[in-house]
Structure 1
Amino acid sequence: MQDSTLKNLPLLQVLAGASLISFSSIMVRLSEADPTAAGVYRVLFGGIALLAGALIRRENLWMGAKAFFGAAAAGLFFCFDMVFWHRSIHYVGPGLATLIANFQVFLVAAAGVLFFKEKVTTRLIFSIITALAGLYLIVAQDWAATAGNYRAGVLLGLLAALSYTFYLFALRRTMVLPVKLPLFANMAIMSLVSALFLYITATVTGESLAIPRPVDWLWLLIYGLVCHSLGWILIGTGMPRIPPSKTGLILLMQPTLAFIWDILIFARPTTAIEALGAVITLGAIYLGAVRR
């Protein structure tokens, strides 16, 4: 029994991590903090926790300028992702905003084709067309009937997907350097640099960093410590030890659960056509994520 549990531990870690991260958009919506402020506290609280973990594990925090500035670049792109995604959550809700942000799967694939000479497969083309069709089923009715904020929310979700794509490439770059930072140290630097950029963004745009209510401290602490740091630690440690096909399917839990939490917690009105569109889009994201 113990051997079986140890064998399945990586799978359980990724399952738990994806489940925790699925609550990220819910914490943003529950909190009354301004969108950029919520991002500041996510990466600040999470970054401090990751830094503490790095110190406890006695990880090196300096492995040269390339490693540091690579993590800093990832932090900058993650800042953009937070700015766009949090506003999208406020405009279209946590479920749809998270679903659209996961279109980064197709942008990563497109970048692979354009910059790394990867082959364009029929499967990839089919998954992109299917995802767009599913998204159309979700947003078509509200696109025509609602105010401009809804349309802005959809477009901001796509910008979040683009920003997250750049973040993933920058993060991957830090992981393949000849001399690289350990996992906790790398994520801590990325998070704290992102917190700095988000603070600058809030200052420039005139957003308040105040935490409006005492209960918002709880939501933002959960967002930073549980969703950000613990969720990604679990995924980062378990993912390398399970097959890619399982990884793609499990990580699909994140937008799926976010959509479900939106319906259950915020009573998101969802028609049968919208539900069908969500299922089609999620299936297409899975096809795009798990390539041969």
Structure 2
Amino acid sequence: MAVMTTTGEGTQQAGSAGPAGRSPVVLAVAASACISASAMFVKLSGVNAGTAAFLRCVLALVALVPVALAERRRLGPRPARAQLFDLTAGALLGVDFVFWAQSIHDVGSSIATVLLNIQIAVFPLLALVVTRTRPGARYWRTLPVLLLGVALASGAIGHPEPGSSPVSGVLYGAAAGVAFAGYLFLTRLGGGGAHTVHPVCVSTLAAGVTSGVLGALWTGVDPAPGWGPLGWLAVMSLFGQVLALVLLGPALARLAPVTSAALLLLQPVLALALGVVFLGERPTVTQFAGCVLVVLAVWHTSRADH
């Protein structure tokens, strides 16, 4: 039988099987590692933003639906209120997918992943407004540094990478980060139960509908871009979406908001390394400086929970 233990960062189940019984810190770190490669796979696919966002959801559902149905048979239906959170979070996730994919085209995979971390600033603000969870004095002191780092990393301030579009890139990246913060926040509110795959499946379905509509209206959606692009998107969907979100849901439900955001810091660090090594991206000195500022700001903010 699981033993319930309450810590300063949430309620944990000791002895449970599956992701819900693992350390939330380990789950969040593993999810971040999976997500960090997503931008690289999107760029390798070569498809437009709407196509990338929509097809990643469709491909993810192929893997998620059978497992979610088996989980439902084993555990019973998920509460209606929790499913409402899943659907709303998924709608925001679809918006995030489209804008983030466009940001990858504009500023590169590594910098786009750094820009996505604007969620680190938004997530604690949502918690403050809705649940009255105060982020702490460190957060307010480091917020201007974080925003300056995002501006430098994108190239909106300083020298951008040649061939990039820093202004549109930072706008789309920031919009994606705000939508992702909303997804994370609602996932945390609706999480904490025994179901781990079912909520991800419902959110992915909602994300597919949202990204399909937004993508069709904006960039267009190509349902058959070829086997090469489909292969890259399939790999990205399996690791950067299915596995990452299955791990992330139980972690967010049991971690403080600022701690959750800080652990997701691995995403831009690993994405930057992958972009440089495998895609030949060459961020400028000022962009690297911005990335360092983002890392330091989030690290300093996360110390408030210890």
TM-score normalised by L of structure 2:
0.79
Residue 20 of structure 1 corresponds to 34
Paired residues of 1:245 and 1:290 also in contact (CA < 8 A): no
Separation in 1, partners of 2:55, 2:79: 28
- 1:2-55 C-alpha deviation (Å, 9 max, x unpaired): xxxxx9987665444322211111111111222111111222222332222223
Are residues 61 and 291 of structure 1, via their aligned partners in 2, closer, same or farther at CA, if it must alter by over 3 Å? farther
Residue 83 of structure 1 corresponds to 98
Separation in 2, partners of 1:272, 1:156: 22
Match of 2:208 among 185, 195, 204: 195
Q: Secondary structure at the match of 2:213?
A: helix
Match of 2:167 among 142, 151, 157: 151
Residue 128 of structure 2 corresponds to 113
**Number of residue-to-residue matches in the alignment:** 283
Equivalent position amino acid for 2:285 in 1: A
Match of 1:168 among 169, 176, 184: 184
Residue 32 in structure 1 maps to residue 68 in structure 2: no
Paired residues of 1:10 and 1:241 also in contact (CA < 8 A): yes
Are residues 143 and 62 of structure 1, via their aligned partners in 2, closer, same or farther at CA, if it must alter by over 3 Å? farther
Separation in 2, partners of 1:192, 1:290: 36
Residue 137 of structure 1 corresponds to 152
Residue 103 of structure 1 corresponds to 118
Equivalent position amino acid for 2:213 in 1: I
- 1:166-207 C-alpha deviation (Å, 9 max, x unpaired): 21222223226xxx6822111111101211222222333360
Separation in 1, partners of 2:219, 2:132: 43
Equivalent position amino acid for 2:120 in 1: V
Deviation, 1:225, is 1.3
Residue 49 in structure 1 maps to residue 63 in structure 2: yes
Deviation, 1:289, is 4.6
Q: Secondary structure at the match of 2:165?
A: helix
Equivalent position amino acid for 1:67 in 2: A
Separation in 2, partners of 1:47, 1:165: 22
Are residues 48 and 250 of structure 1, via their aligned partners in 2, closer, same or farther at CA, if it must alter by over 3 Å? same
5+ residue gaps, structure 2, are: 1-20
Deviation, 1:86, is 0.9
Match of 2:142 among 114, 127, 136: 127
Separation in 2, partners of 1:240, 1:113: 16
Normalized per residue, which structure has more helix? 1
Separation in 2, partners of 1:15, 1:108: 17
Are residues 244 and 72 of structure 1, via their aligned partners in 2, closer, same or farther at CA, if it must alter by over 3 Å? closer
Q: Secondary structure at the match of 1:102?
A: helix
Paired residues of 1:59 and 1:182 also in contact (CA < 8 A): no
Equivalent position amino acid for 1:280 in 2: L
Separation in 1, partners of 2:86, 2:63: 17
Separation in 2, partners of 1:243, 1:117: 12
- 1:57-108 C-alpha deviation (Å, 9 max, x unpaired): 3345744543333211111111111121111111011111111111111111
Separation in 2, partners of 1:37, 1:149: 20
Separation in 1, partners of 2:81, 2:188: 13
Q: Secondary structure at the match of 1:161?
A: helix
